[in-house]
Structure 1
């Protein structure tokens, strides 16, 4: 695998080719990666493989025109051709002064994180350990797993001397399963996480244990015979999905460029419940392998989207920020941090008279005004303070801005999958419909 010096030489060659072809500014990233992957299909080990990959991204600006090309070949002729193609793309583009690369911060930046060499034996042991446990304790489930170690080394080089070096290694685990007993089958279930090491058994990571239990509980589901206005309790995975919708609808590049965001002129206003703090935090302990900088070379910084209910920042790129005369977001990741509350999850449930626990939402993106309607998957009825029967084909309807402005409760427990740190949250006044 290529070391930093070799990657630097490749990036330097690509940068030189871009400048020789007429670029005013150039930004190049050369990277090599190794993935060791272990697969389980239907409870049986089926594959162990190692995949190596090279990638080279070339970006250039000439006379206000931007071009970008990516290749997976480090051959000198291929690099020369890619540089010419990048400039051809730029020349065919419309000039736009909003295209800018990050400036050289003045010193070389080096980032090193995680474990760089895969422990394949330990990876197999942890995967088998979980598979054996599921076979013994959850015999009604059919399981697929992918366990992998990912290592990437990269160099980003700018024409003004910008130089970033990055090495990151971590383990990914993805599991999906379905339960079956007789003629009854559960809905699709699963979870995933990323970790820096394999010190902890997989059953104790993220929400693996609870997901297995709930999948078995969902084999035999009941229809909801009525419609009512009640409480929606979102699992952290589902709350993360709704937080993503909130950002896409109200704070994103598209909603700002198209002037479709209802929040476009409301920066600094209280638009959400004061219990809500929603932040994007790639530079946090919970974020494993998160990006340290973006494609334009801007270093990632944590920032608040909403703090104490107040709308603090849009989640927009440097390009959109310049087009609109606004502030660029500190990062473009989706490493969500939602501040936990002070109430135990069990107490939140015991305080719900009637509602649903929603593990997954299936309904497509909300409309531009925030209205959403879809099926509550992996859901359970909550009655008189207790989680009762597993439900099927339950519809939920509401509005994003309204539910986040009226949060009933946020749990003190959080879910951490190596990408996000998010609690459970409940919302009143949701229309819940059975079939």
Structure 2
């Protein structure tokens, strides 16, 4: 039944897009683009000690962009019905917009179709994998209490078409594991922790996904925590899961459309110059084989390519859309970022910890967005103190402050181990000269 629904959508979405583009031109648009997306989600949900839900959800969206006299109108709707109304609303929005010479649509003429992953869910494997994960968790980590566990299969098909003749279609089928949990020990509890991974093989042992097993083991140790006294300058040993968030913050604060267009990025003049330690190479690689969270087509209709962000400490590319590139006079990037791959180092995590005099094993960082100067302050969550080369106490109420740009330059060690959760392939990273404080 689900396969029939997908085939029906596959047949109809080209007709929908063609009709919308035709109507847009007929009613006065100079150019138009249309993105038709359909999603089928099959999910199994565990909460309150039992598997409580098995369901399939359907979601369709259409996003229309029209240009009339260099004025843009955009409309999104969650139905394939009434394209005439949607086109009229987009044209009406354009009438009230200001002209912008940077506005355009994809002009890289391609007609391509990409299909990746498993298009049909294996419900039996999803269920059996969840049952096994729950059983293994109870046996190996008896203090863990799950708030929720979700296993999903997502089938997403996305068609980009425009009046320049571009037609780019991508269909991806993959699984998502997510869990939220805490540890209970008599009257003591840990703070909440979470693990998430994207994967292709439904028969994968869920315990092995991403950092899941390590996080379960560490959470059991977090029912007893220590609050630091005073302040010191030390090291952060950042886990891959946390490192993804930090690199994402670097992308947003230094490399993206907004900060480059408004001229607030500290890296605006740093292309082909050093911005990180020489041992740092970071790539946005959406075409990495086996990376379930990858993509082949950008949101603007361009074919995605792998791309170096930082290579041997040198900034190689910004993450700019077509619009951002036009506004800044810089080059459009080969992809939209994410799908992070970082070159591993030569030392094991154990060696890196052993060589750390005092610092934190940082699993999660909770803080606001950095200022335009890159200064960043927040709380270390689900983290541990490192003293004299050993991981010691679980921490609470511990603050971290530093400067994001300086932190990149102060990366001193990178582990030879990497972790993948389907969205990234990242190692553990040590950063020196960070201010750490307690009460």
1:338 alignment counterpart: 342
1:131 alignment counterpart: 134
2:417 alignment counterpart: 413
* Partners of 1:104 and 1:161 within 8 A in 2: no
Question: Does the alignment pair 1:225 with 2:229?
Answer: yes
1:369-414 Cα offsets, whole Å, 9 max, x none, are 1111111111111111111111111111111111111211000111
Report the Cα distance in structure 1 between the residues aligned to 2:93 and 2:305, rounded to whole angstroms.
31
Question: Does the alignment pair 1:55 with 2:61?
Answer: yes
Displacement of 1:104 in angstroms is: 4.6
* Partners of 2:347 and 2:415 within 8 A in 1: yes
Report the Cα distance in structure 2 between the residues aligned to 1:289 and 1:401, rounded to whole angstroms.
27
* Partners of 2:129 and 2:203 within 8 A in 1: no
Report the Cα distance in structure 1 between the residues aligned to 2:158 and 2:411, rounded to whole angstroms.
42
Report the Cα distance in structure 1 between the residues aligned to 2:295 and 2:75, rounded to whole angstroms.
20
* Partners of 1:169 and 1:289 within 8 A in 2: no
Report the Cα distance in structure 2 between the residues aligned to 1:417 and 1:150, rounded to whole angstroms.
16
Aligned positions of 1:211-290 closer than 5 A: 211-290=215-294
TM (norm. structure 1) is 0.96
* Partners of 2:200 and 2:290 within 8 A in 1: no
1:433 alignment counterpart: 437
Q: CA RMSD in A?
A: 1.4
Displacement of 1:135 in angstroms is: 1.8
* Partners of 2:65 and 2:74 within 8 A in 1: yes
Report the Cα distance in structure 1 between the residues aligned to 2:272 and 2:182, rounded to whole angstroms.
45
Aligned positions of 1:107-126 closer than 5 A: 108-126=111-129
Displacement of 1:340 in angstroms is: 1.1
SS of 1:192 mapped into structure 2: strand
1:90-117 Cα offsets, whole Å, 9 max, x none, are 12111111111112524x2010000001
Aligned positions of 1:82-93 closer than 5 A: 82-93=86-97
Displacement of 1:156 in angstroms is: 2.1
Aligned residues: 432
1:6-49 Cα offsets, whole Å, 9 max, x none, are 21111111111111111111111222221101111133211111
Gaps of 5+ in 2: none
* Partners of 1:168 and 1:289 within 8 A in 2: no
1:71 alignment counterpart: 77
Report the Cα distance in structure 2 between the residues aligned to 1:317 and 1:385, rounded to whole angstroms.
44
1:138-190 Cα offsets, whole Å, 9 max, x none, are 22211110110000223222112211222210000101101121232111111
Gaps of 5+ in 1: none
2:386 alignment counterpart: 382
TM (norm. structure 2) is 0.95
Displacement of 1:286 in angstroms is: 4.4
Displacement of 1:336 in angstroms is: 1.3
Runs of at least 4 residues off by over 3 Å: none
1:308 alignment counterpart: 312
Report the Cα distance in structure 2 between the residues aligned to 1:155 and 1:271, rounded to whole angstroms.
37
Among 172, 184, 196, the residue aligned to 1:192? 196
* Partners of 2:398 and 2:438 within 8 A in 1: yes
Displacement of 1:3 in angstroms is: 4.4
Report the Cα distance in structure 2 between the residues aligned to 1:289 and 1:160, rounded to whole angstroms.
29
Report the Cα distance in structure 1 between the residues aligned to 2:240 and 2:385, rounded to whole angstroms.
17
